[in-house]
Structure 1
Amino acid sequence: MIVARRYTLRTALLSAPAAAIGFLGSILQANAAGETPNGDAPAIAGQEITTGLQGHDLSPMGMFMAADYVVKTVMIGLVAACVVTLIIFVAKSMQLAAARSVANRTLREVVAAESLGAVASLVSDRRGTGVLLVRAAAEEMTLSRDLVGRVDPGGIKERVASRLNRIEVAAGRRISKSLGVLASVGSVGPFVGLFGTVWGIMNAFVGIAESQTTNLAVVAPGIAEALLATACGLVAAIPAVVIYNAFARSVTGYRQLLADVSAGIERLVSRDLDRMTVSSGQAAPKLAAE
């Protein structure tokens, strides 16, 4: 019995939107035929529809001003989301372009250098994530200099790789800020617009009930205002999704660029360690004196 009641309730809830749409369709069909749903044909039905529609401003601004306060709030929020998306697009584009430029320059210098010290001297007066990677490796090499020739150089390489990895992670997290806002706008925007549409159509049906008429002029403005909310939701969501996908690819490319810089630095560290080991002749006192 409980299952039967649940099935009946679920069937009623699922059939309610279809019934409402069917009722609205019968109204529009009756108005198009010049009749009411009861079969009564008004003598001046077309004239009433034309006169009623002329009393409404069906421009986007006019529909916004005539909309319910809830629908207005929804549309204002969606327009604000569009503005935020545009701001993030401009700011993040400039940030990514600058970061990629610095990383590319550092990568070229790392690849062309013969030692880590040479690269560190070149980037000593610059800023950027690539510069931080070089400085971190140089600092670790300075701290571990007295261990070269005494212990396995693999430990020094691991410490350098660890510091470089943490810098890469922090840079990726920093460059990815604000992308979550784009993802939220892209995923939630259509549903917020749909909420405004549902509310507007509900008000349209309330207007039909209060006016006790099926005239198209009573129904059309409310439906137009409701559909405007859906349009605002799509206008906010579509650019946000496109921009988010573009930035996601750009951030991935930037992280790979930093990984290339780190790999180049690790090669320089390994080369320097081998040279220091050979020059020291495995003699710790001589290494300490150097």
Structure 2
Amino acid sequence: MEGSVIDAVTLGGSVGAPDFSMMSLFLRADWVVKSVILMLVVASVWCWAIIFEKMTSLKKLNRQANSFEKNFWSGQSLDVIYDAIGNQPKDPMGAVFVSAMREWRRATEKGHVKSSLASTSLAERIERVMHITVSREMERVERYMTFLASTGSTAPFVGLFGTVWGIMNSFQSIAVSKNTSLAVVAPGIAEALFATALGLLAAIPAVLAYNKLSRDLERYTSRLDGFAVEFSAILSRQMEDKG
């Protein structure tokens, strides 16, 4: 008799037990918590898309830089390399080279490298043009990095907001039902904690990826700056020879 009572209670509890799957937690959630969950899911997907695109792009840029440097240091004439690249460089390093060579050709065609004063002015102008080109190209390469940083810093707080809102709903359920049983508050608390988990799920990869990609981008920027300095020195020697 006692065993049958226990079985009946167990079966009754199992039949009425709430579903704690992710989809059920989302469907049962308040509209505010649903909005938070959707926002965090979209942010997480967008972050992963940015991470994949940036990692792929950086690998491609480094391969292109290796190919350009190999061609640049092969001993070919600068004019031959410039004519081969044309006005549509394929990578930032090529763009830096083209911007400097365009300024150099414009000056040499007008004969503005005869005097030392003109050569100094041309060297400064070429350095400035290369610096502007590096900044412009890196601004394009670093696009969407701000979104990773923003997601990494704000997603936990957005999830926390959903958690606080869900717990408030749980307390309201207690007040309405006048029942402090865990079965009354468990669904609301689970929905609230689900928002926190999604906030961390969006923030942690974003922070880790941002730190790694920032270091890789800094190394690539240093590589462009180094090439600009070396190329400026080469052009300066040619100015001296022409002078």
Deviation at 1:257, TM superposition (A): 1.3
Residues 96 and 228 of structure 2 are in contact (CA less than 8 Å); yes or no, is this contact kept in structure 1?
yes
Q: Which is further off, 79-88 or 130-139?
A: 130-139
1:233–1:198 distance in 2 versus 1, CA, 3 Å: same
Task: Look up the SS of the partner of 2:20 in the other structure.
Answer: coil
Larger radius of gyration: 1
Q: Which residue of 2 aligns with 1:229?
A: 195
Q: Which residue of 2 aligns with 1:133?
A: 96
- 2:158 is the counterpart of 1:192: yes
Q: Which residue of 2 aligns with 1:164?
A: 130
Question: Which among 75, 85, 95 is matched to residue 57 of structure 2?
Answer: 95
Q: Which residue of 2 aligns with 1:63?
A: 25
Q: Which residue of 2 aligns with 1:33?
A: none
- 2:175 is the counterpart of 1:209: yes
Instruction: Give per-residue Cα distances to partners, 1:188-235, cap 9 Å, x unaligned.
Output: 100010011001101111111111111111111111111111001100
- 2:36 is the counterpart of 1:77: no
Instruction: Using structure 1 for the length normalisation, give the TM-score.
Output: 0.74
Deviation at 1:274, TM superposition (A): 2.2
- C-alpha separation in 2, matches of 1:53 and 1:276: 92
Deviation at 1:57, TM superposition (A): 0.5
Instruction: Give per-residue Cα distances to partners, 1:140-170, cap 9 Å, x unaligned.
Output: 2222221222243222211110110000010
Give the aligned residue type for 1:85: C
Residues 75 and 232 of structure 1 are in contact (CA less than 8 Å); yes or no, is this contact kept in structure 2?
yes
- C-alpha separation in 2, matches of 1:269 and 1:115: 12
Residues 116 and 269 of structure 1 are in contact (CA less than 8 Å); yes or no, is this contact kept in structure 2?
no
Q: Which is further off, 128-137 or 50-59?
A: 50-59
Note the aligned Cα RMSD (angstroms). Answer: 2.2
1:158–1:115 distance in 2 versus 1, CA, 3 Å: farther
Q: Percent identity?
A: 35
1:1-290 matches, cutoff 5 A: 51=13, 54-113=16-75, 116-124=78-86, 126-145=89-108, 146-152=111-117, 153-277=119-243
- C-alpha separation in 1, matches of 2:98 and 2:21: 60
Deviation at 1:98, TM superposition (A): 2.0
Q: Which is further off, 154-163 or 117-126?
A: 117-126
Tell me the matched-pair count.
Answer: 231
Instruction: Using structure 2 for the length normalisation, give the TM-score.
Output: 0.87
Q: Which is further off, 54-63 or 205-214?
A: 54-63
Give the aligned residue type for 1:103: A
- Which sections of structure 2, spanning at least 5 residues, go unmatched? 1-5
Deviation at 1:269, TM superposition (A): 0.4
- Which sections of structure 1, spanning at least 5 residues, go unmatched? 1-43, 278-290
Residues 89 and 98 of structure 2 are in contact (CA less than 8 Å); yes or no, is this contact kept in structure 1?
no
Q: Which is further off, 191-200 or 261-270?
A: 261-270
- C-alpha separation in 2, matches of 1:81 and 1:57: 26
